[in-house]
């Protein structure tokens, strides 16, 4: 089948603007929705919510704005695609490939914070074939982005490596002080804080390798050092005394910090590495080198670099600020993805993502 002719601009003509539908209105989705409504060159064209309690409510109400938009949330995909928007900001907790393919085949591009599409070569071949066929049918493209993985594992390292002619090791460290996060189910039940130390749960290592491995593979491909394999390991530090965090109690001798390392290996040596250091604050007494919440990047090569990127606000403001790091990059990518050729598009296929702030 010949690709469907595009109805959206095929160049970065900012004056043309784009009609955008927001898909899902959770923490990240609501922040993206707000950014679309207030964007000088985007028009909100639809709003999808999985929550029936939100159906019929104006977009402004769901993202904290005062002036109604006239666009109300729906749970009917047909209503979103009746007059297909140029792009859908697709942000559910878990991607539905049937939904994704239907949107793409209808002639609507997708920017998503779901990490499935960071590295096409790492995808399940059957899923990749279905998505690429939908892109070809609709003349559309899809792009995964976000803060981590995404901005910090792709965009920033590619810039830092641009002044190297020899790379020995590129390390990305993510530091997160979780002492003020009031999420007991996540910290205790899922992440295992406050539990007796033991072997690191294999399912968590597998999940994190699958989350960050494709992005590291893309980075390595981009600098001409494709990886042979990606490994994952984890270790914990225990509390020296009992202390309280916002989510509850960390008893002495239980897990108070954890360090997960995802390593990309080429020809028997580490080339790129992502390390997450998540901890319960100063009382955790890890004995590790703990930096402020944010990211630290080090480049070992013929032009060595050390870069700190710190979140410059108190921990109790994290919920206020952190969604923007993921949502804003996705919103800023819309015009670039709408201009891209059909297919699964990565940061290696797109121009640098730039914001339109005027």
Strands 269-279 and 343-344: unpaired
Pull the structure tokens for residue 136: 């070809």
Q: What is the mean pLDDT of residues 231-259?
A: 96
Q: What is the mean pLDDT of residues 113-122?
A: 96
pLDDT for the residue numbered 85? 98
Is residue 140 scored above 50 in pLDDT?
Answer: yes
pLDDT for the residue numbered 285? 86
Using the CB atoms, write b or e for 84-99: b if 16+ within 10 Å: bbbbbbbbbeebeeeb
* pLDDT band of 280, cuts 50, 70, 90: very high
Is residue 30 scored above 80 in pLDDT?
Answer: yes
pLDDT for the residue numbered 3? 41
What is this structure's pTM? 0.92
User: How confident is the model over 61-81, as pLDDT tens digits?
Assistant: 999 999 999 999 999 999 999
Is residue 122 scored above 50 in pLDDT?
Answer: yes
Q: What is the mean pLDDT of residues 323-330?
A: 96
User: How confident is the model over 151-164, as pLDDT tens digits?
Assistant: 999 999 999 999 99
Is residue 8 scored above 50 in pLDDT?
Answer: no
CB atoms within 10 A of CB 301: 16
pLDDT for the residue numbered 358? 80
Is residue 325 scored above 90 in pLDDT?
Answer: yes
Q: What share of the chain is helix, strand, coil (3-state, %, to 5)?
A: 35, 25, 40
The set of residues, in sequence order, having a beta carbon less than 8 Å from that of 78 and lying 6+ positions away, is none
Q: What is the mean pLDDT of residues 306-318?
A: 95
Q: What is the mean pLDDT of residues 239-266?
A: 96
State the CATH class of domain 14-147+322-344: alpha beta
Burial of residue 201, with CB atoms counted within 10 A of its CB: 0-12 exposed, 13-18 middle, 19 or more buried:
middle
Domain ranges for the chain, please list them: 14-147+322-344, 165-302
Is residue 150 scored above 70 in pLDDT?
Answer: yes
Q: What is the mean pLDDT of residues 19-41?
A: 97
CB 136 within 8 A of CB 338: no
Is residue 2 scored above 70 in pLDDT?
Answer: no
Phi, psi of 262 (to 5 degrees): -110, 120
Is residue 203 scored above 80 in pLDDT?
Answer: yes
Strands 109-112 and 141-144: parallel
pLDDT for the residue numbered 298? 97
Burial of residue 283, with CB atoms counted within 10 A of its CB: 0-12 exposed, 13-18 middle, 19 or more buried:
middle
Helix (H) / strand (E) containing 135 = helix 125-138
Is residue 10 scored above 60 in pLDDT?
Answer: no
Is residue 9 scored above 80 in pLDDT?
Answer: no
DSSP readout, 295-356?
Answer: EEEEEEESS-EEEEEE--S-GGGHHHHHHHHHHHHHHHHHHHHHTSPSEE--TTTSPPP---
pLDDT for the residue numbered 16? 53
Q: What is the overall mean pLDDT for the chain?
A: 94
Is residue 198 scored above 50 in pLDDT?
Answer: yes
Is residue 273 scored above 50 in pLDDT?
Answer: yes
């Amino acid at each position: 089948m010949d690709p469907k002719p595009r109805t959206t601009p095929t160049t970065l003509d900012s004056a043309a603007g784009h009609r955008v539908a927001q898909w899902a209105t959770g923490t990240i989705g609501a922040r993206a929705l707000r950014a679309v409504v207030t964007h000088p060159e985007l028009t909100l064209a639809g709003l999808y919510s999985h929550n029936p309690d939100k159906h019929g409510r104006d977009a402004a109400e769901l993202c904290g704005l005062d002036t109604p938009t006239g666009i109300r949330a729906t749970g009917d995909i047909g209503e979103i695609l009746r007059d297909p928007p140029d792009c859908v900001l697709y942000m559910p907790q878990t991607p539905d490939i049937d939904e994704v393919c239907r949107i793409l085949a209808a002639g609507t591009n997708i920017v998503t914070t779901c990490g499935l599409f960071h590295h096409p070569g790492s995808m399940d071949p059957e899923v990749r074939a279905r998505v690429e066929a939908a892109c070809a049918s609709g003349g559309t493209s899809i792009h995964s982005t976000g803060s981590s993985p995404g901005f910090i594992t792709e965009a920033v390292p590619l810039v830092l490596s641009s002044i190297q002619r020899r790379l020995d090791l590129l390390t990305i460290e993510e530091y997160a002080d979780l002492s003020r996060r009031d999420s007991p189910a996540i910290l205790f039940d899922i992440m295992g804080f406050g539990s007796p130390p033991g072997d690191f749960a294999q399912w968590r290592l597998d999940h994190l390798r699958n989350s960050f491995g494709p992005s590291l593979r893309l980075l390595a491909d981009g600098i001409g050092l494709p990886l042979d394999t990606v490994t994952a390991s984890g270790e914990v530090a225990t509390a020296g005394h009992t202390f309280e965090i916002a989510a509850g109690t960390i008893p002495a001798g239980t897990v108070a910090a954890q360090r997960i390392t995802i390593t990309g290996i080429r020809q028997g040596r580490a080339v790129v590495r992502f390390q997450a250091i998540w901890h319960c604050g100063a009382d955790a007494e890890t004995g590790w080198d703990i930096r402020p919440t944010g990211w630290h990047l080090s480049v070992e090569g013929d032009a060595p670099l050390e870069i700190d990127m710190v979140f410059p606000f108190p921990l109790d403001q994290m919920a206020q600020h952190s969604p923007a790091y993921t949502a804003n990059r996705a919103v800023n990518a819309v015009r670039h993805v709408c201009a891209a050729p059909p297919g699964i598009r990565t940061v290696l296929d797109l121009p640098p993502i730039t914001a339109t702030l005027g």
